[in-house]
Amino acid sequence: MNAPSPNLSTLHTHAPIANTGSLSLDECRKGAQVRIVDLQAQSLFGSQDERVTLRLKELGFLPGAQLKVIGFGLLGSDPLAVQVNGTKFALRRAEAAKIRVEVISGSH
């Protein structure tokens, strides 16, 4: 089992920003329509973090993209299902916590 190892040094993750208007995706409620502001580093992923950021972006989780929270899994409302660009994805809280969003409609 050899792990794939692309060089990801070209990617940058933003430092956390203190923006009162934004919250992280895992704080959103079901049905919320939000817009992505930024992707942040998440220490839980350790050395994987940059790759997770990259994959999220590749799947369309980019600043400016609109996103809808469509549902939650069984316990502790984890994982969440979201829809971005017409495609549905299942994310865990840890991934959702990387995504800073601003709410367009729906309570949080």
Give the nearer residue to another protein in terms of CB position, either 20 or 39. 39
Residue 90 CA to residue 93 CA, distance in Å, equals: 10
CB of 102 to another protein, least distance (A): 18
Task: For the CB of residue 55, give the shortest distance to another protein in the complex, in Å.
Answer: 6
* Residue 38 Cα to chain centre, angstroms: 9
The answer to whether the beta carbons of residues 79 and 72 sit under 8 Å apart is yes
d(CA 78, CA 92): 6
- Taking the least distance from each CB to another protein, the nearer of 29 and 92 is 92
Residue closer to another protein by CB (options 89, 102) is 89
* Minimum CB distance to another protein, residue 108 (Å): 19
100: Cβ–Cβ under 8 A, 6 or more apart, which residues? 17, 19, 22, 23, 24, 25, 36, 37, 38, 39, 40
| Cβ distance to another protein smaller for residue 20 or 43 | 43
Which residue ranges make up the site for another protein (CB under 8 A)? 1-4, 6-8, 10, 44-48, 51-52, 54-60, 62-63, 70-76, 78-79, 81, 83, 85-92, 94-95
